[in-house]
Amino acid sequence: MNQSKVRRIVGKYEIGRTIGEGAFAKVKFARNIENGQPVAIKIFDKDKVLKHKLSEQIKREIATMKLIKHPNVVRLYEVMASKTKIFIVMEFVTGGELFDKIVSHGRMQEDEARKYFQQLINAVDYCHSRGVYHRDLKPENLLLDASGNLKVSDFGLSALSQQVQMYALIYANPGGKVELLQTLMCQDDGLLHTTCGTPNYVAPEVINDRGYDGAAADLWSCGVILFVLLAGYLPFDDSNLMNLYKKISSAEFTCPPWISFKAMKLIAQILDPNPVNRITIPMVLKDEWFKKHYKPPVFDEKDEINLDDVEAVFKDSEEYHVMENKEQQQPTPMNAFELISMSRGLNLGNLFDANQDFKRETRFTSKMPANEIISKIEEAAKPLGFDVHKKNYKMRLENMKSGRKGNLNVATEVFQVAPSLHMVEVRKAKGDTLEFHKFYKNLSTSLQDVVWKTEEDMQEMK
């Protein structure tokens, strides 16, 4: 590799490829220069945050993640800021989303589903013990590490109990103004009052907008997830939102016959539309089906919680800023460390696997020059109805026609693996996952001459 190329450094981290993208933030793979540790860094643009009045939500997300230190929750390491950006440095989880596992393999056997459900309940129970309610639990927010252990992520819609809000406020601003988490949704009745989350996983009391108990609402979402793990499909689903809400409000669902009676009984107790009658997490922990092969989590949480940097990242003073180098203007060089990190189980053979069905991202290699690859993708995408936006060796493809979940947006980036070899990542940035797979199949047909084929591949095609 050409070592003279400029690297992007933020503080003590070398920033790499984009591994996730939302409306207001990007998640980048990064490496700690001091110890080589891989991390994920969530990057917010300060101007966008202020323009859309997201400061309090981001402060809440940071404070929440700092309060939670559990083996089944994605860990937050530190928070930094430059003059223009906010950086949340988090644990890098390599095993993908539980959502991808469900979509690609379908329903799970009960022992496997139970293991994930046990880890989910462990994490949620711990969060609730800290006064933290997630409010957006779904398979897309459940990640898997290299060992197949579940990690709860994305606390962007979380809420804190009133007691924990005051603790966080005082801790972050001792003796000062109480303003860190003012916008949290707890009112004097101790209930939450903001309707949020993903419709199919939301509890009926959240939809009814009369205030709800965060713990009971989170457990309902866990029940929906357990149903999906065991059945392979959603218990409540309808293209019409009002019909969907009616089904949820009356708990109108039927368990498939392959689910055992004991599992059905637990699901029915969790998916009780009346939160007063709904089973609680302490009751779930004593359930006969749940307890089979149960292993309580073992972990150390002695580290002190310091929330000083939550406010500091929003201050304009250069005293609180880290140095940020400019991003390079040529294909990002990818070293062996990053290649290995992209491959599940550290198996490089998976990296160039042709079987990419039902993923939110896919990759292929090419021996073409980077400029030609970009041009070929643009030529293939436009006839499919996509508007193309290019910046250096990155592209955003936006479908002008709205789909099931809005306009499908696809992000692509070209990386240099070797002087004559590039890797191309094609990733869903926004929209429906199944629509992304349909798009990629059409795109790949048009890129047959771009993809590098080994001699073995050529033999298989004959």
Domain ranges for the chain, please list them. Answer: 10-15+17-291, 332-461
Q: What is the pLDDT of residue 408?
A: 87
CATH class for the region spanning 10-15+17-291: mainly alpha
Q: Residue 362 above 60 pLDDT?
A: yes
Distance CA 335, CA 47 (A): 32
**Confidence at 49, pLDDT banded by 50, 70, 90:** confident
CA distances from 449 to 181, 349, 382, 455 (A): 54, 22, 18, 15
Q: Residue 61 above 60 pLDDT?
A: yes
Distance CA 320, CA 311 (A): 10
What mean pLDDT is predicted for residues 14-32? 84
Q: What is the pLDDT of residue 348?
A: 36
Q: What is the pLDDT of residue 1?
A: 37
CA distances from 152 to 123, 168, 277, 323 (A): 7, 21, 26, 31
Q: Which residue has the higher pLDDT, 330 or 310?
A: 310
What mean pLDDT is predicted for residues 54-61? 79
Render pLDDT for 142-167 as a digit per residue (tens, 0 to 9): 999 988 999 998 765 445 444 444 33
Residue type (1 letter), 255: C
Q: Residue 370 above 70 pLDDT?
A: yes
Q: Which residue has the higher pLDDT, 449 or 302?
A: 449
Pairing of strands 76-81, 85-91: antiparallel
Return the biggest CA–CA distance within the chain: 75
What mean pLDDT is predicted for residues 414-427? 82
R_g of the chain, CA atoms, integer Å: 23
Catalytic: 136?
yes
What mean pLDDT is predicted for residues 6-13? 82
Distance CA 366, CA 9 (A): 28
Q: Is the pTM of this model over 0.85?
A: no
Q: What SS3 class is residue 169?
A: helix
Residues forming beta bridges with residue 407, ordered by sequence position: 402
Q: What is the pLDDT of residue 174?
A: 40
Q: What SS3 class is residue 373?
A: helix
Q: What are phi and psi of 146, to 5 degrees?
A: -60, -25
Q: Which residue has the higher pLDDT, 196 or 63?
A: 63
Contact 417, 452 (CB under 8 A): no
**Confidence at 347, pLDDT banded by 50, 70, 90:** very low
What mean pLDDT is predicted for residues 49-75? 82
Q: What is the pLDDT of residue 351?
A: 38
Q: Residue 375 above 70 pLDDT?
A: yes
Distance CA 213, CA 280 (A): 11
Q: Residue 358 above 80 pLDDT?
A: no
Q: Residue 279 above 90 pLDDT?
A: yes
Q: What is the pLDDT of residue 424?
A: 86
Q: Residue 372 above 50 pLDDT?
A: yes
What mean pLDDT is predicted for residues 428-443? 81
Distance CA 153, CA 156 (A): 9
Contact 329, 392 (CB under 8 A): yes
Distance CA 157, CA 56 (A): 11
> Poorest-confidence range of 126-130, 168-172, 258-262, 360-364?
168-172
Q: Residue 327 above 80 pLDDT?
A: no
Q: Residue 310 above 50 pLDDT?
A: yes
Render pLDDT for 198-238 as a digit per residue (tens, 0 to 9): 689 999 998 887 778 889 999 999 999 999 999 999 999 98
Angle at 45 (CA atoms; ends 42, 50), nearest 5 degrees: 120
Q: Residue 6 above 90 pLDDT?
A: no
Contact 95, 144 (CB under 8 A): yes
CB atoms within 10 A of CB 259: 17
Q: What is the CATH number of domain 332-461?
A: 3.30.310.80
Pairing of strands 406-418, 332-333: parallel
Q: What percent of the chain has pLDDT over 70?
A: 73
Q: What are phi and psi of 286, to 5 degrees?
A: -95, -5
Q: What is the pLDDT of residue 319?
A: 56
Q: Residue 445 above 60 pLDDT?
A: yes
Q: What SS3 class is residue 234?
A: coil
**Does residue 226 come out as left (phi exceeding 0), alpha (psi in the -120 to 50 range) or beta?**
alpha
Q: Residue 131 above 70 pLDDT?
A: yes
For the chain, give the mean pLDDT. Answer: 78
**Confidence at 284, pLDDT banded by 50, 70, 90:** very high
Q: Is 42 annotated as a binding residue?
A: yes
Q: Residue 16 above 90 pLDDT?
A: no
In degrees to the nearest 10, what's the CA dihedral of 17, 23, 24, 25?
-20
Catalytic residue among 45, 111, 125, 136: 136
Q: What is the pLDDT of residue 453?
A: 61
